[in-house]
Amino acid sequence: MTKRNVFITGGASGIGFGIATSLAKSGHHIIIADINEDAANSAAHELVSQGFSASAVTVDVCNATSVSALTTALKETPVDVLVNNAGIQHVSKIEDFPPEKWQQLINIMLVGPALLTQTFLPSMRARNFGRIINIGSIHSIVASPYKSAYVAAKHGLLGLAKTVALETGDCDVTINTVCPAYVKTPLVEKQIAAQAVENNLSEEDVINKIMLEPMPKKQFISLQELADTTAFLMSDSARNITAQTLVLDGGWTAR
């Protein structure tokens, strides 16, 4: 595969850093993007210390000015692949959901990907190559109680991808959404604890009776599965795969 410059939001930890590490091992240059400057620098340094190519950039994906400034900051490193991964979670009944938190989730996981696409698409079009890969969720397809903002944002990514795909049919730019069921990351660990409180269950019961119960395979999705799916979508073999929703759900949605 041709070596690419890969920009990963929320790349300093969890799914983002898992994808970053795998793609770095394949020889791609990784741009770790995170709102936490220290975390971004530390993650990039970790990759470089292992002999890989990586750099860091600080960005608030919710802030249009911060995002648009990336064009200047990265002028020597044009972005070939955008991985929209940054995300947070908040679990609450809709009537108790803090409005500012609801808005924050939408901004990070839906507005942010739109702003980043808007920023990087012109140079992708000019070079006639680009891959935009949204990290969605099983909750892009189905819903769970107490996650109204998260589910709304992740559903919105599918509409964004379909629209951008229609607008980029004239060049070698694709946009797709990878939708895993639960991946064992720090974010999910926090969800387990929150769900235990909300449902008055033990954390073990949350895993077995809520998270993995709908999955025939009864397994968390691995970071390597996500990284390999991302790598495939970056390849020339995927040049006609666009506007698609790739679901890694252990059979969840077969029911």
Give the model confidence (pLDDT) of 112-123 as tens digits: 999 999 999 999
Q: Look at residue 207 and tell me if it is in a domain.
A: yes
Q: Look at residue 103 and tell me if it is in a domain.
A: yes
User: Is the pTM here over 0.85, yes or no?
Assistant: yes
Same domain membership, residue 174 and residue 82: yes
Q: Look at residue 245 and tell me if it is in a domain.
A: no
Helix (H, G, I), strand (E, B) or coil at 6: strand
Same domain membership, residue 110 and residue 91: yes
Instruction: Retrieve residue 34's tokens.
Output: 């995170």
- How much is the pLDDT for 64? 98
Q: Look at residue 33 and tell me if it is in a domain.
A: yes
Q: Look at residue 249 and tell me if it is in a domain.
A: no
- Residue 197's H or E segment, with its range, is helix 186-199
Chain segment 185-213, per-residue pLDDT in tens: 877 888 899 889 988 999 999 999 989 99
Q: Annotated catalytic sites, by residue? A: 150
Residue 137 belongs to what domain range?
5-180+222-240
- How much is the pLDDT for 5? 98
Same domain membership, residue 123 and residue 113: yes
Same domain membership, residue 195 and residue 89: no
Asked whether the CA dihedral 117, 162, 160, 213 is positive or negative, the reply is negative
**Distance between CA 118 and CA 109 in Å, rounded?**
15
φ, ψ for residue 113 (rounded to 5)?
A: -55, -35
Question: Tokens 């680009």 identify what position?
Answer: 130
Same domain membership, residue 97 and residue 62: yes
Q: Look at residue 252 and tell me if it is in a domain.
A: no
Helix (H, G, I), strand (E, B) or coil at 69: coil
Same domain membership, residue 28 and residue 149: yes
Q: Which positions of the chain have pLDDT values less than 50?
A: none
Same domain membership, residue 211 and residue 147: no
Instruction: Retrieve residue 152's tokens.
Output: 């709304």
Q: Look at residue 209 and tell me if it is in a domain.
A: yes
Q: Look at residue 248 and tell me if it is in a domain.
A: no
